[in-house]
Chain A
Amino acid sequence: MQNKNARLAAVLATALALALVGSSPAHAHHSFAAQYDASKPITLTGKVTKVEWTNPHVYVYVDVRDDKSGEVVNWALEIGGGPNSLIRQGWTRDSLKADDVINVEGSLARDGSRLASAQSIVLAATGKKVFAAPIPTETRDASR
């Protein structure tokens, strides 16, 4: 499965992840660094199958087709914020809907599941960003 994931994932340079870094009220209740590996960026393109507009974090599910095998695999995307932080940024529960085709840049989950933290979601039809959620800055100052 990990190989399949690797085929589906066009892994970008770490520099891209660093370029996406910014400040955001994200990942309130669990450690980003424990769940995701910021050094493993991933890009995905697919059709949204479900949006869970729920606390503590919004989740988006997307069907991604493997160009080589044609197999469709469903990925889960964690949005850095919950509904409240997204509402304060002007988004609504209807900002992203099932059947929307999106391009995603994110960080892979450390546990090998088909899960990523989405730092950038772009609507393929319009080129507009939705729910932008940069990698939280605290992952870079974890000195203790």
Chain B
Amino acid sequence: MGARSKIGVLALAPLAVLLGATGSPHCAHAQWWDNVPRKIPLTAKGEPDLAAPAPRTKDGHPDLSGIWNPHTNKYLRNIAADIKPEDVPFQPWAKKVADERADGSHSREDPDANCLPQGVPRIGAAPAPWKIVQTPDLIVVVHEAFSLWRQIFLDGRELAANANPTWLGYSTGRWDGNTLVVDTRGFNGKTWLDQVGKPTTEKLHVTERYTRKDFGHMDLEITIDDPGAYTRPWTVKQDLTLLPDTELLEFICNENNRDLEHLPGKPLQ
């Protein structure tokens, strides 16, 4: 570690503490001393230029690599926050379940509150950053939330019909111009799409369309196709921001989950 970098970090520490009271500067100083941003375009002032053009890989596709973060808990709370409630095409049973859960009275039954995986796409809306590691045939998404991961295969493979149901499903991807299209199937039907409790079934098929608009911003369009719970596919949009100056940290949710006993609802079966 260079003396200069240490001095620089120490000099920034009071600022980080000051900002901590009012905001979230996402400093990485506490983990790696020499966390020097790499391959990050800078403005004339030397700050990360989040409006710079999106990078590309050697094979010409957009390079989605980086650490991404939702702005707020908005879509974690309600994936349909930006659409009209009546535009969520619930089947009657799913509407009944969602209505029963919506006032929070079943919150103890939310897998997320039990430190179980959030499912897809909810895990991407959880307020913890996640990292895309991109290769030509495989994209790995490392989620800080609960220290989980996803694999997105771009090598043309197809999901077996008898794949064992899972929390995060099995993902394949392809490029549609500048957009990465990810199809995920093979879910276990246990996850809630959001905190207010929209249900899923094993028939869930999620299509995510990732478009990196510039260096620091990515659009995400999500289509929920679950013929077990909804009458037709429905689509929502989210947006993500690059975090240029942090790293992922371990997050073991069940370390000390004291919240569960204070939440209303039955213990998860």
Contact = CB atoms under 8 A, between A and B. Distances in A.
A92 B30 CA distance: 8
Contacts of B255: 54-56
Given A143-B81, A144-B98, A84 B22 contact: no
A55 B251 CA distance: 7
B263 A59 contact: no
A138 B158 CA distance: 38
A27 B78 CA distance: 14
Interface residues of B, number: 61
B5 interface: no
A33 B73 CA distance: 13
B246 A26 contact: no
A34 B187 CA distance: 27
Contacts of B71: 23
Given A33-B104, A90-B20, A137 B127 contact: no
Contact of A91 (B20, B107, B252): B20
Interface residues of A, number: 46
B13 interface: yes
A138 B16 contact: no
Interface in A24-67: 24-31, 33-35, 52, 54-57, 59
B252 A144 contact: no
B144 to A, nearest CB: 7
Interface string B143-167: 0111000000000000000000000
A85 B113 contact: no
Contact of A29 (B13, B77, B144, B253): B253
A142 B196 contact: yes
B264 interface: yes
B127 A30 contact: no
- Interface pairs A-B: 9 shortest CB-CB: A34-B104, A90-B16, A89-B20, A138-B77, A34-B107, A54-B256, A25-B127, A30-B113, A90-B20
Given A24-B24, A55-B251, A90-B27, 5 more contacts: A28-B128, A34-B264, A85-B127, A90-B25, A138-B73
Interface of B: 13, 15-31, 69, 71-74, 76-78, 80-81, 85, 98, 102, 104-105, 107, 110, 112-113, 115, 126-128, 144-146, 195-196, 246, 249, 251-260, 262-264
27 contacts: A27-B73, A27-B127, A28-B128, A29-B259, A30-B110, A30-B260, A33-B104, A34-B105, A35-B262, A35-B263, A54-B255, A56-B115, A59-B256, A76-B258, A85-B24, A87-B249, A89-B19, A89-B23, A109-B262, A110-B262, A111-B264, A132-B20, A138-B74, A141-B74, A141-B78, A143-B85, A144-B85
